Amino acid sequence: MQSEQSSDFYHGWVIEVVADKDGYHSICYSSSRKRLHCKQAYAHQSEAMRAGRALINYYSACSQLGQFLCELYQSDRISLEEWRSLNCSLFEWQ
């Protein structure tokens, strides 16, 4: 199979959709060099692109929740152990 690739911008990220023998995969890059990728293969480029957008949305939501948890900890509204546990649970999917 010839290597096919497409890309798009979404909320400040670049999403690349790359084809391999298993199907299409999305790889997302932020301007700060953060890299996210969907391990699942998709039959169509559009599905992989949607998966990349969903991954960016999920990562952004987790990051914002992490910042909120940090604020709660810094204002003594949650303990260090609560902060660690909750913060770790946000990023277990990576």
Give the pLDDT score at 38. 87
pLDDT band at 1 (very low <50, low <70, confident <90, very high): very low
Domain regions of the chain by residue span? 5-90
Reduced to 3 states (helix: H, G, I; strand: E, B; else coil), residue 68 is helix
pLDDT tens-digit readout, 37-66: 988 999 999 999 999 999 999 999 999 999
Radius of gyration of the chain (CA): 17
pTM, full prediction: 0.85
3: amino acid identity, one letter: S
Give the pLDDT score at 3. 57
